[in-house]
Amino acid sequence: MRRSTPACTYDRSACIPFLGLLLLGQQAVAQGTSATGVLVQLFEWSYSDIALECETYLAQAGIVGVQISPPQEAIEDPAWWSRYQPVGFTKLVSRSGDQAALLDTVRRCQAVGVQVIADVVANHMAAPPAGGTGTGTAGTTFQNRTFADFAPTDFHHWNGSTAGNCGVDNFADRVNVQTCDFNGLPDLNTTSSVVQSKLSQYIGLLHSLGITAFRLDSALLMSASDIQGFMGTAEASLVYQEITLPPRCTIAPQEYLINGKIVLQDYAYSMFTAFKSGQLQGLQAQPYASDKLIVNIDSHDLQRQSPLTSLTYTDGKLYELANIFMLAYPYGQPLLMSSYSFSAFNQGPPSVPVHGADGSLSCGTDQPWVCEHRTPSYKVMINFRNHTSQALVTDWQILMGGAMVAFSRGSGFVAINTAGI
Ligand SMILES: *[C@@H]1O[C@H](CO)[C@@H](O)[C@H](O)[C@H]1NC(C)=O
Ligand SMILES: *[C@@H]1O[C@H](CO)[C@@H](O)[C@H](O)[C@H]1NC(C)=O
Ligand SMILES: *[C@@H]1O[C@H](CO)[C@@H](O)[C@H](O)[C@H]1NC(C)=O
Ligand SMILES: *[C@@H]1O[C@H](CO)[C@@H](O)[C@H](O)[C@H]1NC(C)=O
């Protein structure tokens, strides 16, 4: 159970009331100028594929940043979630490639104006197979709460014993959320100066490779001040913290703004609700400041939730229209998703590369890699966003009982019709 569950998802089935609030609670138009570039998550892509993608597509399409899968050493396991179970922070060897390949990719992407964004998993370490010894992707072995870089005392633990810890089971209790083990994964004591200094060294190592942009995984499971403790000295160009707010959670997303931006799943949920129901009138109301928010329609976590509460590539045109809205509307900094096709929760990435040696692409809904970000209309909309970056939304119109939305931005005009899809 614990090893087949992702490290950063929660049961969303109880969240619908919260969504209702999000959509109906605020009538004011939340928007800002979109002077922030479009990003893409190339989930589980190899470094060599990412470098080729920067050079052959992303730069021309106007995409300015690419979020890679976590680069640290992780538990050796074919499932996608293994990337989110760190074994160590000194050897950058993962399924995507080694440190030399990462450095090459950072340089090649930067050369064409695309920055690499590292996904940083700092909250917890890996759980070994039931009580035994585990192996990392760089060959490092580890045991139950004992790693090359961390001793049992470096983890949150029971009072009087370092052998184990409480489990996260009460989102109304901040201490429970931020100091207990989530899904059985040993929870690093991110308050401790020993742990903070090791995490800072990891950020420094990434920095030395030229990486200045960071996504912080499972941020809610760490206190904002702990994150500040290990990120504080990093000269980051962009930081966004993954915040998944379960019902009754008493931790406020705003606490995390001291460290940078936040990426909230609520945006994806509200888009799902609006587009699935054909009730687009709620799309204007969002409660957070535009310049503090990264927005996405789905992510590697969201597209594996059951039941689904986000749109994914399996929604076809509806998914495309939601992305078009996200790119057209000046709210938040958009993060496009790029997936591989999967039919089982644990399924890891395809074994074939995205870019074939002959220049062919393994991309499409009938291919191993989906490459949603290459949808032709997104390129058009990134250009639209660029040309209308200083213009606010005017002429907001809801037609056909909510199934159609249209609005202007300066000399640009967008109309989105979900009827019949
Ligand atoms: C971890 O090791 C401790 C002893 O150090 C033991 O009490 C505990 O049950 C072990 N936990 C697991 C999950 O094996
Ligand atoms: C340790 O004791 C404190 C005070 O009773 C309690 O709040 C905390 O949850 C305990 N920690 C664990 C891991 O059981
Ligand atoms: C975590 O670290 C803080 C700061 O060093 C310390 O006060 C606290 O006791 C530690 N918690 C555990 C469970 O060791
Ligand atoms: C628009 O695109 C141009 C050319 O790629 C780029 O220099 C500029 O920064 C972009 N502006 C915005 C607001 O995205």
Task: Quote the percentage of the chain above a pLDDT of 90.
Answer: 84
Q: If one looks up domain 12-16+26-393 in CATH, what number appears? A: 3.20.20.80
Is 217 a known active-site residue? yes
In this structure, which ligand is nearest to the CA of 225?
3
pLDDT at 360: 96
Check whether 25 has a pLDDT greater than 50. no
**Residue with the nearest Cα to atom 6 of ligand 2?**
159
CA of 191 to the centre of ligand 3 (A): 6
Higher pLDDT, 241 or 18: 241
Q: In the chain, where are the structural domains located?
A: 12-16+26-393
Q: Which of 77, 217, 301, 315 is catalytic?
A: 217
Residue whose CB lies within 8 A of the most ligand 2 atoms, among 158, 159, 191, for a mutation test = 159
37 Cβ closer than 6 Å to some ligand 4 atom: yes
pLDDT exceeds 60 at position 24: no
- How confident is the model at residue 233, as a pLDDT? 78
Q: What is the pLDDT of residue 289?
A: 83
Q: Which residues of 233-260 are buried (b: 16+ CB within 10 A; e: fewer)?
A: ebeeebbbbbbbbbeebebebebbbebb
CA dihedral sign, ordered 265, 269, 274, 276: positive
Ligand 3 pocket (Cβ < 6 Å) reads: 156-157, 189, 191-192
Q: In whole angstroms, how far apart are CA 327 and each of 39, 87, 220, 229, 378?
A: 11, 37, 27, 34, 8
- Report whether pLDDT(148) > 70: yes
Q: Which of 242, 298, 320, 372 is catalytic?
A: 242
Residue 27: pLDDT above 70? Answer: no
What is the Å distance from ligand 4's center to 389 Cα? 9
Closest C-alpha residue for ligand 1 atom 7:
163
Percent residues over pLDDT 70 in the chain: 90
pLDDT in tens, 271-312: 999 999 999 988 866 668 888 999 999 999 999 999 999 999
Told to judge if 242 belongs to the known catalytic residues of this protein, a careful annotator would answer yes
Atom number in ligand 3 closest to CA 194:
5
- Looking at the CA of 191, name the nearest ligand: 3
Residue 290's pLDDT is what? 87
pLDDT higher than 90, residue 194: yes
Mean per-residue pLDDT over the chain, rounded? 90
pLDDT band at 31 (very low <50, low <70, confident <90, very high): low
Atom number, ligand 4, closest to the C-alpha of residue 37: 14
- The pLDDT assigned to 8 comes to 29
Ligand that comes closest to the CA of residue 128: 1
* Protein residues with CB under 6 Å of any ligand 1 atom: 131, 144, 163-164
Q: Given this model, what pLDDT does residue 14 score?
A: 26
Inter-residue long-range contacts of 271-275, CB under 8 Å, 24+ positions, other chains counted: 271/297, 271/310, 271/311, 271/322, 271/325, 271/326, 272/308, 272/309, 272/310, 272/311, 272/322, 273/19, 273/23, 274/23, 275/311, 275/315, 275/318, 275/321, 275/322, 275/418
pLDDT higher than threshold 90 for residue 13: no
Kindly tell me if the per-residue pLDDT of 35 is higher than 50: no
